[in-house]
Protein backbone atom coordinates (compact mmCIF):
# COMPACT_ATOMS: atom_id res chain seq x y z
CA UNK A 1 0.00 0.00 0.00
CA UNK A 2 1.37 3.37 -0.99
CA UNK A 3 0.27 6.59 0.56
CA UNK A 4 0.26 9.57 -1.69
CA UNK A 5 -0.02 13.01 -0.22
CA UNK A 6 -2.29 15.35 -2.05
CA UNK A 7 -0.53 18.34 -3.54
CA UNK A 8 -0.67 21.40 -1.34
CA UNK A 9 -3.51 23.66 -2.48
CA UNK A 10 -2.48 26.94 -4.07
CA UNK A 11 -2.35 29.88 -1.69
CA UNK A 12 -5.45 32.03 -1.48
CA UNK A 13 -5.70 35.81 -1.53
CA UNK A 14 -5.46 36.15 2.28
CA UNK A 15 -2.32 34.01 2.49
CA UNK A 16 -0.72 35.87 -0.42
CA UNK A 17 -1.49 39.26 1.16
CA UNK A 18 -0.01 38.04 4.47
CA UNK A 19 3.19 37.01 2.64
CA UNK A 20 3.51 40.53 1.24
CA UNK A 21 2.98 42.16 4.61
CA UNK A 22 5.60 39.87 6.18
CA UNK A 23 8.32 39.86 3.50
CA UNK A 24 9.56 43.44 3.79
CA UNK A 25 13.13 44.73 3.78
CA UNK A 26 14.60 47.51 5.91
CA UNK A 27 16.82 48.35 2.92
CA UNK A 28 17.65 46.72 -0.41
CA UNK A 29 21.11 47.24 -1.91
CA UNK A 30 23.01 45.94 -4.93
CA UNK A 31 24.73 43.47 -2.58
CA UNK A 32 21.36 42.29 -1.27
CA UNK A 33 20.25 41.64 -4.86
CA UNK A 34 23.39 39.58 -5.47
CA UNK A 35 22.91 37.56 -2.26
CA UNK A 36 19.20 36.96 -2.88
CA UNK A 37 19.81 36.02 -6.51
CA UNK A 38 22.64 33.68 -5.51
CA UNK A 39 20.38 32.03 -2.92
CA UNK A 40 17.76 31.45 -5.62
CA UNK A 41 20.43 29.94 -7.89
CA UNK A 42 21.52 27.57 -5.10
CA UNK A 43 17.94 26.49 -4.35
CA UNK A 44 17.21 25.95 -8.05
CA UNK A 45 20.42 23.97 -8.63
CA UNK A 46 19.65 21.72 -5.62
CA UNK A 47 16.26 20.97 -7.20
CA UNK A 48 17.54 20.90 -10.78
CA UNK A 49 14.94 23.52 -11.60
CA UNK A 50 15.22 24.84 -15.19
CA UNK A 51 14.56 28.48 -14.31
CA UNK A 52 15.67 31.98 -15.11
CA UNK A 53 16.00 34.48 -12.24
CA UNK A 54 15.78 38.26 -12.38
CA UNK A 55 16.01 41.00 -9.77
CA UNK A 56 15.15 44.60 -10.70
CA UNK A 57 15.21 47.72 -8.54
CA UNK A 58 14.07 51.15 -9.72
CA UNK A 59 14.13 50.10 -13.37
CA UNK A 60 17.63 48.61 -13.23
CA UNK A 61 18.44 44.93 -13.56
CA UNK A 62 20.65 44.06 -10.58
CA UNK A 63 20.77 40.27 -11.05
CA UNK A 64 20.05 37.76 -13.79
CA UNK A 65 20.78 34.06 -14.15
CA UNK A 66 19.59 31.48 -16.64
CA UNK A 67 20.03 27.91 -15.41
CA UNK A 68 20.31 24.78 -17.55
CA UNK A 69 16.98 23.95 -19.15
CA UNK A 70 15.71 27.53 -19.15
CA UNK A 71 14.96 29.18 -22.49
CA UNK A 72 14.59 32.70 -23.91
CA UNK A 73 10.85 32.29 -23.29
CA UNK A 74 11.55 32.41 -19.56
CA UNK A 75 13.03 35.89 -19.96
CA UNK A 76 9.90 37.01 -21.79
CA UNK A 77 7.71 35.61 -18.99
CA UNK A 78 9.92 37.35 -16.40
CA UNK A 79 9.39 40.71 -18.09
CA UNK A 80 5.62 40.22 -18.32
CA UNK A 81 5.27 39.09 -14.68
CA UNK A 82 7.57 41.88 -13.42
CA UNK A 83 5.44 44.50 -15.21
CA UNK A 84 2.41 43.29 -13.23
CA UNK A 85 4.32 43.79 -9.96
CA UNK A 86 5.47 47.25 -11.09
CA UNK A 87 1.94 48.28 -12.11
CA UNK A 88 -0.04 46.80 -9.19
CA UNK A 89 2.57 46.83 -6.40
CA UNK A 90 1.63 43.23 -5.59
CA UNK A 91 2.95 39.76 -6.36
CA UNK A 92 2.03 38.64 -9.86
CA UNK A 93 0.32 35.53 -8.45
CA UNK A 94 -1.70 37.65 -5.99
CA UNK A 95 -2.91 39.91 -8.81
CA UNK A 96 -4.11 36.87 -10.75
CA UNK A 97 -5.70 35.37 -7.61
CA UNK A 98 -7.66 38.58 -6.97
CA UNK A 99 -9.16 38.41 -10.46
CA UNK A 100 -9.95 34.69 -10.02
CA UNK A 101 -11.62 35.43 -6.66
CA UNK A 102 -13.96 37.79 -8.54
CA UNK A 103 -14.89 34.98 -10.94
CA UNK A 104 -12.88 36.25 -13.87
CA UNK A 105 -9.30 36.23 -15.12
CA UNK A 106 -6.63 38.85 -15.43
CA UNK A 107 -6.56 38.31 -19.20
CA UNK A 108 -10.34 38.81 -19.51
CA UNK A 109 -10.76 41.76 -17.17
CA UNK A 110 -7.57 43.79 -16.73
CA UNK A 111 -7.79 45.47 -20.15
CA UNK A 112 -4.00 45.08 -20.40
CA UNK A 113 -2.14 43.47 -23.29
CA UNK A 114 -1.35 39.84 -22.32
CA UNK A 115 1.77 40.04 -24.49
CA UNK A 116 3.04 42.75 -22.12
CA UNK A 117 1.55 41.73 -18.73
CA UNK A 118 1.16 38.28 -17.14
CA UNK A 119 -0.48 37.81 -13.73
CA UNK A 120 1.14 34.38 -13.30
CA UNK A 121 3.10 33.31 -10.24
CA UNK A 122 6.79 34.02 -9.92
CA UNK A 123 7.29 37.75 -9.46
CA UNK A 124 7.26 39.23 -5.97
CA UNK A 125 7.62 42.88 -4.97
CA UNK A 126 10.73 44.06 -3.19
CA UNK A 127 9.18 46.25 -0.54
CA UNK A 128 11.28 48.51 1.71
CA UNK A 129 9.88 49.56 5.08
CA UNK A 130 8.75 53.19 5.00
CA UNK A 131 9.37 53.43 1.23
CA UNK A 132 7.15 50.90 -0.52
CA UNK A 133 7.74 48.74 -3.56
CA UNK A 134 11.15 49.47 -5.08
CA UNK A 135 11.52 46.50 -7.41
CA UNK A 136 10.78 42.85 -8.03
CA UNK A 137 12.38 39.44 -7.76
CA UNK A 138 11.13 37.09 -10.47
CA UNK A 139 11.61 33.49 -11.52
CA UNK A 140 10.25 31.63 -14.52
CA UNK A 141 10.46 28.02 -15.63
CA UNK A 142 8.26 26.02 -13.26
CA UNK A 143 4.46 25.85 -13.00
CA UNK A 144 3.28 29.22 -11.68
CA UNK A 145 2.50 28.13 -8.11
CA UNK A 146 5.97 26.57 -7.84
CA UNK A 147 7.59 29.71 -9.27
CA UNK A 148 5.76 31.75 -6.61
CA UNK A 149 6.65 29.38 -3.78
CA UNK A 150 10.33 29.33 -4.75
CA UNK A 151 10.56 33.12 -4.62
CA UNK A 152 8.71 33.24 -1.28
CA UNK A 153 10.97 30.55 0.18
CA UNK A 154 14.09 32.44 -0.90
CA UNK A 155 12.77 35.73 0.53
CA UNK A 156 11.88 34.04 3.83
CA UNK A 157 15.32 32.44 4.13
CA UNK A 158 17.10 35.65 3.15
CA UNK A 159 15.18 37.84 5.61
CA UNK A 160 15.39 35.22 8.38
CA UNK A 161 19.16 35.00 8.26
CA UNK A 162 19.64 38.73 7.75
CA UNK A 163 17.16 40.38 10.16
CA UNK A 164 18.84 43.79 9.73
CA UNK A 165 17.75 43.80 6.08
Q: What is the per-residue pLDDT across 102-136, written as a single tens digit (0 to 9) for each? A: 999 999 999 999 999 999 999 999 999 999 999 99
Q: Percent of the chain, pLDDT > 90?
A: 91
pLDDT for 52 beyond 70: yes
- Inter-CA distances, 70 with 30, 43, 118, 150, Å: 24, 15, 18, 15
pLDDT at 4: 58
Backbone angles phi, psi at 130, to 5 degrees: 75, -5
Amino acid sequence: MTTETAPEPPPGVEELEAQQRRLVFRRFTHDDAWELGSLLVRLARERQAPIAIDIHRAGQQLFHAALPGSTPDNDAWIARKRRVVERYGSASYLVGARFRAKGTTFEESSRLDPDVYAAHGGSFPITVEGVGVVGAVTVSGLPQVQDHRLVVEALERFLERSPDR
